[in-house]
Structure 1
Amino acid sequence: MARPPHPDAREGAAGALSHLGRKVVRHVRWARTEGVGRLVEEDRLDPRERLRTAWRAARWRARHGGARGEARPVYVVGLQRSGTNMLLRGVDAAPEVQALGEGDRRVMRRYRLVDQARLVRVVRASRHPVVLLKPLCDSQHVDRLLDSPDLPGGRALWVYREPLARARSEVSKFGSSNLLALQAISTGHGTSLWQGERLPAASVDLVRTFDVEAMTPLTAAVLFWVVRNRLVLDLGLAQREDVLLVSYDAVVADPAVEVEKVCTFVGLAPDPALWEHVEARRTHPPRVDVDPAVLALAHALHAQLEELRVATVRP
C-alpha cells in the first residue's frame, strides 16, 4: 500500500515528546469534560480488561489455534468518535480474534499503519482466524488494503455515527483538530495530513466554498464528517462485497441484531457475550449550533448512508 510519509514524521526524542504532550492534553481535556471513568472506558485503560482479553486469546490459541498464514484481516475504519471503541470492545473479546489496537507498535505508529510489509508479516504470523485492526487514520486507503494480493480475503467495517452527536464528542475530546485540518485542506496543504490524503477535487472544492477561517469547531466537525464519510462513495466502498457499513446508532438501538451481522460478516460465531456490554437505547441528535448549510449536507449524506446500509445484504 503506497501512501505519503507519516504526517508527524519528526523523528527522535523531540518528535516523541511532542506526540506524547498532545496525547496528555487530549486526555486531560477528555477527563475534565466527560469524567475520568469515561476516559478509562473509552481508551481501554483498565489493565484488568486487557489481561482478561489476552488470557482468553492465549487459551484459545493453545486449544484451537490454526496454522500460520490463514488469518483474515478485518479493518475497522471510518471517522474518530463514531463508536468504534464500543463495537470493538465486544468483537475483540472473542477468543478467535487477535486484536491489534491503534497503539500496537507491531503494525502502528502514531495511529498510522507502519508499512505494508510489516502488516503482512504480523497477520500471516497469527494463529487466529481473524486479525482485527483499527487504522482510522488510514481509512482513505482501505480499498488498497483490501485489494492487496499479499493479504487476500480481508474485510472492512466502515463505522459511522449521526453527525451532530459525533461532532460534539469530537470537539469534547480533540478540540479544534477538525477545524485545523479543514483550514489546511482549503489552503492546498491537506495532502501533508492524513485528513487530506486521497480527497477528490470535489471534496476539496466543497471545503473551499465555506469560510473555514471563521468557522466554529462544531461546524468544522460536521463538515469534516461529510468530507470523510463521502469516501464511502468516492472509493466505491458501498458496492464492495468485502465492506460492511455499520451504524453506531443502529448498534446501540439493537445490539444483538447489529453485532450479529458484524460477526457473521467477519466470520465469527455470534455470541451474546460480544454485545452484552452495549446498553440498548435510542439515540437522539443533540442541540448544537451548526451552520445550516453544513448541517444540510450532513443530513443528506447520513440519509444516503442509511439507505445503502439497509439495502445492502452481506454474506
Structure 2
Amino acid sequence: MGRRATAYYLGRLELEFWLRLKWLVQHAWHGPRRRGPAAVSFIAGVQRSGTNMLMDVLEQSLLTDVYHERDPRAFDNYSMRETDIIAALHARCRAPHFIIKSLCELQRLPQLRQRFPGTRIVWIVRHYDDVVNSMLVSFRNHASQIRRLAQDKLAVDWRGEGMSDATQALLRRFAGPELSDASGAALMWYLRNVLFFEQGFDRDEKVLLVSYERLVAMPQAEFARIFAFLGLPYRPWHSRRVVASSVGKRQPPAIEPAVRAECDALLARFHALLPAAPGEAA
C-alpha cells in the first residue's frame, strides 16, 4: 500500500473513532441544555464543489449533528427525504447545531427556510474547470441531459427544477448535436449555480458564499469565517486535514469557448461578492 493510500485509510479510521466518541459524548452530556430547537444550516453548492470536505470539517465539532447525502436517515439516493422526516430528525437533534447537505435541493432552499425559520446557508462555489473534470470521471451523459432540459425543464429529475426561462434559453443556444460532454457539464455547473443569484441569495445576510479555492488555500482563515457565521467555535484542529492539492490537478477540459465565456461571467459575479483576500485591495 502506498503512502497516500495509507494516509487515507488512517484518516478514515481516525474519523470513525472520532464520530463514535462524539456520539458517546453527545448522548452522555448532562450539562446545560440549549435553549430552544437546534440551529439549522444547509450546506449548498453544485456536486463536486467540495461540500463533502466542508461537511467533514463541520462534523469535527462536538456541537454539530451532521447529515451527509449518503445518510439514509435523511436522504434517498442522494436526494433529501420529505420535509416532515427532516423535521423529525431536527426535533430529535441533541446538538446545538443541525447541519444538512443540500445539493439536489438548491431550488428548494427558499421553501426549506420557511419550514425552518432562522436557517443559515453556506454556498460553496468551485471553478468550473475542476468541477467539470471531476464530473467527467464518473459520468458521460451531460450533453444529452442538457439537450433534454433545453426542451423540458422537468426532463431530467431534479436538475431542471427551478430553472428560469432565461437559463433555459441559454441552454437552447448550445444544445445542438455537436455539444460535447465537457461543455454539457459546464452548462450544468452554470444552471445550478445561477440559482444563487436568481433566488436572491447574493442580497441575503443569512447566506455565506465560500470559494473552494480560497478554502483549501487558507483553511484556517476561511473555516474561522464559516464557523463564526454558523455560531460555532473554531479551532485549527478542525481543518487540519484540508489540503489544496485538488486545485488545477488536471488540464482544463475542452469546453466550447462560448460556453466558457458564460461560465466565466457567472464566476466573476461570485468573485465580486467575496471579501478581499489577504494582500488584495478591498
**What's the TM-score, normalizing by structure 2?**
0.87
Opposite residue 243 of structure 1, the aligned amino acid is: V
**Structure 2 counterparts to residues 201-280 of structure 1, below 5 A:** 201-280=165-244
> Is the partner of 2:168 in helix, strand or coil?
helix
What is residue 75 of structure 1 aligned with on the other side?
42
Deviation of 1:264 (Å): 0.5
**Structure 2 counterparts to residues 1-315 of structure 1, below 5 A:** 46=12, 49-63=15-29, 64=31, 66-67=33-34, 70-148=37-115, 151-173=116-138, 175-188=139-152, 190=154, 193-280=157-244, 283-284=247-248, 286-310=251-275
Q: Partners of 1:38 and 1:254 in 2: how far apart?
A: 22
Q: 1:78-129: CA deviations, max 9, x gaps?
A: 1000011121221111111111111222221111111111111111211101
Q: Partners of 2:169 and 2:12 in 1: how far apart?
A: 43
Count of residue correspondences: 274
Opposite residue 152 of structure 2, the aligned amino acid is: G
Q: 1:195-247: CA deviations, max 9, x gaps?
A: 00010111111101113432111111111111111101111111111111111
> Is the partner of 1:145 in helix, strand or coil?
helix
Q: Could you say if the C-alpha distance between residues 38 and 265 of structure 1 is closer, same or farther in structure 2, counting changes exceeding 3 Å?
A: farther
> Is the partner of 2:105 in helix, strand or coil?
helix
Opposite residue 153 of structure 1, the aligned amino acid is: G
RMSD: 2.9
Unaligned runs of 5+ in 2: 277-282
Q: Percent identity?
A: 26
Q: Partners of 1:226 and 1:38 in 2: how far apart?
A: 33
Q: Partners of 2:251 and 2:210 in 1: how far apart?
A: 21
Shifted more, 201-210 versus 83-92: the winner is 83-92
Q: Partners of 1:267 and 1:274 in 2: how far apart?
A: 15
Opposite residue 83 of structure 2, the aligned amino acid is: Q
> Is the partner of 2:174 in helix, strand or coil?
coil
Q: Partners of 1:161 and 1:235 in 2: how far apart?
A: 19
Q: Could you say if the C-alpha distance between residues 291 and 192 of structure 1 is closer, same or farther in structure 2, counting changes exceeding 3 Å?
A: closer
Unaligned runs of 5+ in 1: 1-35
Q: Partners of 1:77 and 1:107 in 2: how far apart?
A: 15
Q: Could you say if the C-alpha distance between residues 288 and 38 of structure 1 is closer, same or farther in structure 2, counting changes exceeding 3 Å?
A: farther
Q: 1:152-210: CA deviations, max 9, x gaps?
A: 2211111110111111011113x124333312201215355100001011111110111
**What's the TM-score, normalizing by structure 1?**
0.79
Q: Would you say the 8 A contact 1:178–1:221 is kept in 2?
A: yes
Q: Would you say the 8 A contact 1:103–1:111 is kept in 2?
A: yes
